[in-house]
Amino acid sequence: MTHRTYENWIFNDEELTSAQHAALNAHLRTCDTCYRLHQRRKSHEYLFRTVGMLAPVSGFSVRFYQRLMTRDIENMRTRNKAITLVALVGLMVWLGAVMYQFASWLRFLPSLLSDWTAQIIGQLAFWEITGEVLWGVLWEMPNVSLLPVAWSVFWLLGGAGLLWGVSVSRILSNRKLTA
């Protein structure tokens, strides 16, 4: 007889002949695995019998089930509240950080604007003077070949542009450092 046969017998012991019962009992004494299976089967049977005895108490299982459900719902509500609270706190912290950033940016905005305005006015004055000087030079030296003049204008414009770009980028990076 195989091990598997005894396992089947353990779960169908109501349908066994007395000879099969005797064989099963003999196997249970020698096989630990089957014995443990048999014990588990017995305890389940006991549990089912107990539940069967309790079940007739009117509406017990329904009440039991309802209590379980209520407890689950309560747990779920508590969990949802906790999650909502954490999410709210996180949102508030995030909003606070954003507001702080925005406020510090706002604080620097006027000085940034006045810097830019001063820069633009300075540039305009510079170009006005430069233009007048160049214009004067061009008018004062009508006999000078125009090619070297054109070249000097070109280099002057290039150098001024470079200086202007450097000063603007320096102002911007200074702002970034202090902000």
Shortest Å, Cβ 26 to Zn ion = 11
Asked whether position 42 contacts Zn ion by CB under 5 A, the answer is no
Nearer to Zn ion by Cβ, of 23 and 171: the residue is 23
Write the DSSP symbol of residue 84: H
Nearer to Zn ion by Cβ, of 3 and 49: the residue is 3
| Close Cβ partners of 175 (under 8 Å, ≥ 6 residues apart) | 108, 112, 115
Nearer to Zn ion by Cβ, of 31 and 168: the residue is 31
The answer to whether 11 touches 41, Cβ cutoff 8 Å, is yes
Distance CA 168, CA 115 (A): 10
Asked whether position 34 contacts Zn ion by CB under 5 A, the answer is yes
Shortest Å, Cβ 49 to Zn ion = 25
The answer to whether 141 touches 149, Cβ cutoff 8 Å, is yes
Q: Tell me how many helices (H) and strands (E) the chain has.
A: 5, 0
| Close Cβ partners of 7 (under 8 Å, ≥ 6 residues apart) | 34, 37
Shortest Å, Cβ 28 to Zn ion = 8
Asked whether position 37 contacts Zn ion by CB under 5 A, the answer is no
Give ∠ CA 166-169-170 in degrees, rounded to 5. 80
Q: How many chain residues are in contact with Zn ion, going by CB under 5 A?
A: 4
Q: Which residue has the tokens 């450097």?
A: 166
Interface of this chain with Zn ion, residues 2 to 31, rule: CB under 5 A: 3, 6, 31
Nearer to Zn ion by Cβ, of 3 and 42: the residue is 3
Length of the chain, in residues: 179
Shortest Å, Cβ 6 to Zn ion = 5
Nearer to Zn ion by Cβ, of 31 and 112: the residue is 31
Interface mask toward Zn ion for 137-156; x: CB under 5 A: --------------------
Interacting residue ranges for Zn ion, rule: CB under 5 A: 3, 6, 31, 34
